[in-house]
Structure 1
Amino acid sequence: MTYDLVIKGGNVVLRDSVVTADIGIKDEKIACIAEQITDDAKEVINANGQFVMPGMIDTHVHISEPGRTEWEGFETGSKSLAAGGTTSYVEMPLNALPATTNKAALDLKLEAAIDQNYVDYSFYGGLVPDNLDKLQELSDAGVQAFKCFLSDITSDIPDDFVNVDDYTLYKGMQKLAELGHILCIHAENPSVTSKLSEEMMREGRTTAMDYVDSRPIFTEVEAVQRALLFAKETGCKLHLVHISTSEAIQAITQARREGVDVTVETCTHYLALTAEDVAEIGPRAKCQPPLRKAKDQAKLWDELMAGNIDWLTSDHSPCTEDLKEGNLFEAWGGISGAQNNVDIMFDLAVKQRGLSINKFVDLIATNPSKRFNLPNKGEISVAKDADIILVDPNSSYTLKREDLYYKNKHSAYEGREIDCRVTKTILRGNVVYDLEQGIVGNPKGKLMSANDNK
């Protein structure tokens, strides 16, 4: 056989082991994993000294095209993902305009995404108070999952995204349980957080720590518990997004023991940055839920190391730089993070805290591929898509603005020294990012429709 590509001599991360091996790729699939491949190959990559692992599957990405394309577009967003070692992503139903709450809006995104993506992609549908009758058509159109907000997300812009009330949450969960879909939830109690924010603004309390205190831990926990109760009542499959606290993780873990079909993610920024860092970084580090205090972050790390968190995401939520001006209450809330998940978390979790490399791969690839029914992704195994990244554990660098591929080149991680590096990203056997060359070739990303695997 003549392979399209052979990756030679890397430390290949398999399901339960790490082996020094060659990988042969043919027709975009992994065709062979062997101690040594001697057959001909059109291209050979030397991976000596590097880890060879599946590309990250980022299930929490905001691309703002169409409607707010000046914030982020499919081209720049997917380049950032590729440069960071992500080979597939699922795009949230906001912040584009119109929000993806009906098939017509989904069709606009599908059209905008054609021939722009450097990695594979799929879409969420949204659950909002006025679209209960649109969930079926979004499901039929192949969305991977649905998303709603329990936190305050109001807008006076037509067709923008808004949060659900409890009735919509209940009826939406009933319908999604019938359809067999996962509902992903942003869980914060909006009544408390909005009033605390108003109170602090009136009193002129606008420091970084004031912002954190306006969204206390119990507001996340209460909303999580409410979502879990509704899921138990309706039988809806649930996924809690960007959870920031151990207390919420404990509630989710207990519900899982009681039979609730629930998974949970956290984000790189909750493990890499603390509330104490926000005073120095400023609004670039503003997000919801907020970054937590160091003592609370330490407990979140305990949950990750104990295996109580299912996977990691970026919650890449970009905007133009002018929207990051002002105090922490006024600035746009969202961290641009798509490009620095694999490297930062490999550094923090594997190198600094001793997490096994196999558990790390579960967190970035294998677990989300299973939950989101992406059977060709998430693992280095024969017949799977050849979505592969190379990570050099002995290469350190300091992240600079000019390294970023975002449309708006700002990040809460600017100036951070990272003690490993993604050197290659391979999408279905095609090199799409190389450390020396940057982004390689034209966009090769394909749509992943949920209908493909029904």
Structure 2
Amino acid sequence: MSDAELVLRSTRVITPAGTRAASVLVARGTITAVLPHDAGTPPGARVADFGDDVLLPGLVDTHVHVNDPGRTEWEGFWTATRAAAAGGITTLVDMPLNSLPPTTTVDHLRIKQEAARDKAHIDVGFWGGALPGNLKDLRPLHEAGVLGFKAFLSPSGVDEFPHLDQRQLARSLAEIAGFGGLLAVHAEDPGHLAAAPQRGGPRYADFLASRPHDAEDSAVAALVAQAARSGGRVHVLHLSSGNALPLIAAARADGVRLTVETCPHYLTLTAEEVPDGASEFKCCPPIREAANRDLLWQALADGTVDCVVTDHSPSTADLKTDDFATAWGGISGLQLSLPAVWTEARRRGHGLEDVVRWMSARPAALVGLCRKGAIEAGRDADFAVLAPDEAFTVDPAALQHRNRVTAYAGRTLYGVVRSTWLRGRRVVADGRFAEPQGRLLRRGG
């Protein structure tokens, strides 16, 4: 205790053992002890007392499209990590596509890392990409420190990142399983998408019909079968269709190494409320009906769905046209993910401990970041300070991501992030940011 440099106190600290009044001791960027609230202050230590505001472990977002380098007019490491920090996120993992070049070789990974260096306000890890032509690059990428691999089963939306067919998926999964890696998959079946009605225009109902439940459900079924045959670790990205949940639950009960994520927009928005022409709500797979949303919440509660991450996928405003068929598909959610999820969670009777499990502990565990995701001795001193009962109205002008297009504009949300801390140093408080101090993470970090 005597070497503590910093003590953070709150009457509500969320730890793996539950929520309690506590003093959290920090030295050299690491949590050294979690003591009773009234524990004495070590000589020379600074004290930050947050009163009744809640001290959470910093959130971990394992699904973020930063688009840097190459499409930095869409987003970039400077703006994305500021938005994340403003929302209580202290670690993000960058997806391998939408940047140029995509992260599909070690050389491309080095280019991505150089783009992030000195711009990251929070810690950043990287996914590698699994493409039809880069089987030989997967093991070197793993050895270079990527946290896992991303693949599509249907067209990705960008030409430089083609999707895998079932034969290619089997080969990639076998290769990744051979070195103990993780394959994360965008699961929509191209055949079902091609067979669905494709009508352009501003009607959200037409867009929803073009991305039916069956496209997700059949792709998840094929993925489960491949995972069962290979014995490899497979992660279903951004699950939208509640119809796939029984299959997922059965596969897990049978021992298939399968994990699943969903996203704040699937948990907080519904198809019934999307205005025609409002393509800020467009994403793939799509936001579905309210009854489907209820299924996703139940799956979170019973553990069928493991975690909640943003799939932050921004673009320039001009690409968000009023034609759902041609508008860019992606929702920008980094800064608002915690209050959005918390607002709906509290309405449904869930507590902040649940939100921390879904948005910090489990994403960290998914990608093997053993120093992240909890307030306990030996972990990085990454925190968010939250006023959970304070409400605010979303003003796009207050957002930190580069293009301030948001599906949450004008919504009243609960949960104001007072400050965010990275390894014991305050990253942001009251809208004021420190200089970038994030690190580039490797697998096992």
The answer to whether the superposition gives a TM-score over 0.5 is yes
- Give the whole-Å Cα distance in 2 for the aligned partners of 1:262 and 1:439: 40
CA distance in 2, matches of 1:375, 1:412: 33
**Matches for 1:439-454 after TM superposition, within 5 Å:** 439-450=432-443, 452=444
Question: Is 1:277 equivalent to 2:273 in the alignment?
Answer: yes
Cross-structure match for 2:366:
371
Shift of 1:371: 2.2
Q: Distance in 2 between matches of 1:2 and 1:63?
A: 38
CA contact (8 A) 2:7 2:41 kept: no
Name the CA distance, whole Å, in 2 between partners of 1:406 and 1:49.
Answer: 29
Q: TM-score, normalised by structure 1?
A: 0.94
Q: Are 2:356 and 1:361 aligned?
A: yes
Q: 2:391, 2:360 → 1: CA distance?
A: 23
Q: Percent identity?
A: 36
Deviation at residue 206 of structure 1 after TM alignment? 4.6
Distance in 2 (CA, whole Å) between partners of 1:43 and 1:406 is 32
- Does residue 52 of structure 1 match 2:45? no
Choose the corresponding residue for 1:233, options 219, 222, 229: 229
- Take 1:197 and 1:99, find their aligned partners in 2: how far apart are those partners? 31
Question: Which whole-Å CA distance do the structure 1 matches of 2:205 and 2:313 have between them?
Answer: 21
Deviates more, 1:74-83 or 1:371-380: 371-380
Quote the offset at 1:155 in angstroms: 4.3
Partner of 1:194: 194
2:50 and 2:69 mapped to 1: Cα distance? 39
1:353 CA drift (Å):
1.4
Q: TM-score, normalised by structure 2?
A: 0.96
Q: CA deviation at 1:245?
A: 2.0
- Counterpart of 1:123 in structure 2 is 126
Worse overlay, 40-49 or 78-87: 40-49
Partner secondary structure for residue 127 of structure 2: strand
Q: Does 2:247 match 1:246?
A: no
Q: Distance in 2 between matches of 1:246 and 1:32?
A: 41
Instruction: Give secondary structure in 2 for the equivalent of 1:82.
Output: helix
Q: Which moved more, 1:277-286 or 1:251-260?
A: 277-286
CA distance in 2, matches of 1:48, 1:33: 16
RMSD: 1.5
Q: Measure the CA separation in 2 of the matches of 1:4 and 1:27.
A: 8
Tell me the equivalent position of 1:345.
Answer: 341
Cα deviation for residue 133 of structure 1 reads 1.3
Aligned-partner SS, 1:363: helix
Partner SS state of residue 151, structure 2: strand
Q: Any gaps of 5 or more consecutive residues in structure 2?
A: none
Q: What is the deviation of 1:211?
A: 0.4
AA of the residue aligned to 1:209: A
- Deviation for aligned residue 1:214: 1.1
1:334-368 Cα offsets, whole Å, 9 max, x none, are: 0001111111112211x211213322211111112
Aligned 8 A contact 1:118 1:443 in 2: yes
How many residues align? The count is 442
Q: Equivalent residue of 1:209, what SS? A: helix
Give a deviation string over 1:98-139, Cα, whole Å, max 9, x none.
111111111110111111101111101101111111111111
* 1:166 to partner: Cα distance: 1.2
1:251 to partner: Cα distance: 1.4
Tell me the equivalent position of 1:404. Answer: 399
Do structure 1's residue 426 and structure 2's residue 408 form an aligned pair? Answer: no
d(CA) in 2 for partners of 1:87 and 1:154?
A: 29
Residue 166 of structure 2 is matched in structure 1 by: 166
Alignment deviations for residues 7-33 of structure 1 (CA, whole Å, 9 cap, x no partner)? 123301111311111112111011222
Deviations along 1:260-304, whole A, 9 cap, x unmatched? Answer: 001000000001111122226710010000000112212222222
Corresponding position of 2:328: 332
Q: Secondary structure at the match of 1:395?
A: strand
Alpha-carbon distance, 1:195 to partner: 4.0
Do 2:385 and 2:420's aligned partners in 1 also have CA atoms closer than 8 Å? yes
- Alpha-carbon offset, residue 213 of structure 1: 1.2
Say whether the 8 Å CA contact 2:264–2:310 is kept in structure 1: yes
User: What's the CA shift for 1:163?
Assistant: 0.8
> Which letter maps to 1:190?
P
Contact kept? 2:98, 2:158, Cα under 8 Å: no
Structure 1 counterpart of 2:21: 20
Task: Give distance in 2, aligned partners of 1:214 and 1:123.
Answer: 31
Q: Quick one: which of 64, 75, 79 aligns to 2:78?
A: 75
Does structure 1 residue 309 correspond to structure 2 residue 310?
A: no
Greater mean alpha carbon deviation, residues 115-124 or residues 205-214? 205-214
Contact 1:312–1:363 (8 Å) recurs in 2: yes
1:213 matched to 2:209: yes
Tell me how far apart the structure 2 counterparts of residues 194 and 440 of structure 1 sit (CA, whole Å).
46
- Partner amino acid for 1:387? D
Distance 1:30 1:265 in 2: 28
Residues 403, 281 of structure 1: alpha-carbon distance in 2 compared, 3 angstrom cutoff: farther
